[in-house]
Amino acid sequence: MKKARYVMWAALAAFVGVLALTAAGCGGSSGGSSDGGGDTGALPTKIGPGEGALDLIAWEGYTEDQWVKPFEQQTGCQVNAKYAGSSDEMVTLMRQGGGGQYDMVSASGDASLRLIAGGDVQPVNVDLIPGYQDFFEPLKSPPHNTIDGKHYGVSLQWGPNTLLYDTEKVTPAPTSWSAIYDPKYKGEITVPNNPIQIADAALYLSTTQPDLGITDPYELNQDQFDAAVNLLKQQKPLIKKYWGLASDEIDLFKNGDVVLGASWPYQTNTLQADNVPVKDTIPSEGATGWADTWMLSAKAKHPNCAYEWMDWITRPVPQAQQAIFFGETPANTKACAEMDKIDKGSCAKYHGDADQAYFDSIKFWKTPLADCGNGQTDCKDYTAWQQAWTEITG
Amino acid sequence: MTSGVESAGRPSWAARRRLSAVFWRRGWLRGLLLLLLPLAFFALIYLAALVVLLISAFWSVDPLTTELVRTWNLDNFKTVFTEPTYRTIAVRTIGIAAAVTVTDAIVALPFAYFMARLASPRMRALLFVLVLLPLWASYLARVYAWRLILAKEGALNWTLDRLGLPTLDIAYSNWAMWIVFSYIWLPFMILPVYAAIERIPDSFLEASTDLGAKGWRTTRSVVLPLAFPGLVAGSIFTFALTLGDYITPTLVGGASSQFIGNVVYANVGIANNVPFAAAYATVPLLVMALYLVVAKRLGAFEAL
């Protein structure tokens, strides 16, 4: 009996230990204060010697060995990457501990303006980055990273959010976003757990309910916003799960739990490589999308390595490697030839040869602001979007 | 002091003698020395963190820059208690924690009884290993395993299908959370219940039989009341652990499965709104405080 008591106490001790560890894990971060000061001092005119390290915040799949290892060998800058699951998380990480914990972030358009407004990032001298000259024209000075002629980072890759479906269970193949609002697929649909998803609903409503007058899915007045939120509330009973990480959505499709989902091309690539019968499509209503920028922290500790990174990651070969790995379109137009060298036909497949019309058909993520962009200032800002999203998914 | 010490050098032996004499004369000193480290740890790390948490709940953040604004206000608490969304999430969390506790109690009681009263010593040791074995594996690995079991084309449905039974669609739902939580916290219920039942003197049961009570009557009038403090002690673990979890809801929960912990996590890690997270985190704190008071009344701490 004594032995049994002993075992019980050991279990209790282990349990307390686990609790302590959990608490330690949760208590790591406290709110940071970021005082402005993005554009102090002149831009550098040459890249100095590297500092030996580079701390990055990136999307999953953006810092793969195939293009990070050669960079480390050439520059001696050791890359430490932290994956973030959403734009909100990227902004928070950039600000935590007063900023300066990370040198760079691969921010999408809905995070980049917030970072610029918060003084969390600094302008860069694009003359030091040779790849810039070969950028796809709309990405040289796009509104999501260039303000008053100042470039807050360099464009990286872009692409559309797609409709992913199981080719065996969804017939005929869907051509409209209406599929993810269709009760026919109740309990077999997944969408990202991200407030920016409201824009997808708004985009769908802009064609199905033209009376609402939605012209930009990120600039919504009260009526338009309410309609989009209502649509998402009606959609909720149809949702199996709101996915957080790309790998979650991959699991859901692989195990047959869902047959339809809002997705990125990365998931399609991974699932198809695993012989799961899926395909993706850009529905007739068009699609939302992302255009990512490597941005430089206002308090970067390794600015020279950061410039080396911007130089490297915008060259044709790493651009092509990343484009094929993730399934997105490179900013550097010279990457197209490299893509076909690695995998014949991949340039056309991932729109490496895209024209302005294709680019314009995608509604790129941007931060919703009260300013509607048409003189009105009654649009719902991002705080309202976040609150509404909590209500929808709560 | 034994022979091992005597063999050491003379001066150090004398010093030790003197020291132990001091400790013997001043008993409180010995107690203080023993408790100093754990107490300092408790005060600095545990209490200080709680205090900081409670204070920050009365602050707010600037919505655009997410900078901390150190002005006192009750807005966070107002939101927590008036917004229906947060009430729904709190009720869901507490409800599932209660369901998990009841389930574990029902499963643990016969199991612990068998272990303490009926099993041979060999069998008992084996059962102990079986109960504790899952605790050696990573929590995450076990939850992921359940995700594979419960998936639509997973092990459970495969088995049901083979047996000619209708398949279940419970992956990514509150049912899945209930099953996984009940499984994960079961050892924390079995151990205190076992300790309580093991402590019941044989003479009580014999007396009950002598007085003509059949098995069920003995169970109801002797075993259950004496096992009850153990059940309550175990329920503190299962209830508190479920109440504070956010990993299982993330991994096996469905579209309507957010827990208090998920909201707290999202506010700290994604929205950078620590004050609101702190305000919401006081809800499980209050619930748990209430629970402990009731548990004490029911004698739970006598069974530990």
Least confident of A361-375, B60-74, B153-167: B60-74
Single pTM value for the model: 0.79
Q: Which of A241, A191, A48 is nearest to B147 (CA)?
A: A241
How confident is the model over B217-244, as pLDDT tens digits?
988 899 999 999 899 999 999 999 999 9
Q: Suggest the residue from A88, A90, A116, A168 to mutate for an interface test with chain B (most B CBs closer than 10 A).
A: A88
Q: Would the pLDDT of A77 be above 80?
A: yes
Q: What is the pLDDT of residue A22?
A: 43
List phi, psi (to 5°) of A393: -95, -10
Q: Would the pLDDT of A15 be above 50?
A: no
Residues 6+ apart with CB under 8 A from B41: none
Rounded Cα distance, B180 and B178, in Å:
6
Evaluate whether B236 touches B98 at the Cβ level (below 8 Å). no
Residues 6+ apart with CB under 8 A from A251: A257, B147, B151
Separate counts of helices (H) and strands (E) for chain A: 14, 15
**Integer-rounded Cα radius of gyration of chain B:** 26
A210 or A20, which is more confident? Answer: A210
Residue type, B291: Y
Which residues of chain A have a CB within 8 Å of the CB of B154? 255
For A60, the 3-state DSSP assignment is: coil
Q: Is B79 in CB contact (< 8 Å) with chain A? A: no
Q: What is the pLDDT of residue A236?
A: 95
- Determine, for residues B269 and A239 on separate chains, whether the beta-carbon distance falls below 8 Å: no
How confident is the model over B76-104, as pLDDT tens digits?
899 889 889 999 999 999 999 999 999 99
Q: Would the pLDDT of A14 be above 80?
A: no
Which residues are registered as beta bridge partners of A364? A289
Residue type, B298: L
Least confident of A122-126, A283-287, A369-373: A369-373
Rounded Cα distance, B219 and B212, in Å:
13
How confident is the model over B1-16, as pLDDT tens digits?
444 444 545 668 888 8
How confident is the model over A212-255, as pLDDT tens digits?
999 999 999 999 999 999 999 999 999 999 998 888 999 999 99
- Determine, for residues B188 and A4 on separate chains, whether the beta-carbon distance falls below 8 Å: no
Q: Suggest the residue from A3, A115, A240 to mutate for an interface test with chain B (most B CBs closer than 10 A).
A: A240
Mean pLDDT over A20-38 rounds to 39
Residue type, B281: A
How confident is the model over A93-135, as pLDDT tens digits?
998 877 889 999 999 998 998 899 888 999 999 999 999 999 9
How confident is the model over A38-59, as pLDDT tens digits?
444 578 888 989 999 999 999 9
Find out whether the peptide bond into B249 is cis, omega within 30 degrees of 0. Answer: no
Q: DSSP letter string over A119-183?
A: T-EE---GGG-GGGGGB-GGGTS-TTTEETTEE-SEEEEEEE-EEEEETTTS-SPP-SGGGGG-G
Q: What is the pLDDT of residue B240?
A: 95
Which residues of chain A have a CB within 8 Å of the CB of B172? 240-241, 252, 257
- Locate the chain A residue with the closest alpha carbon to B260: A394
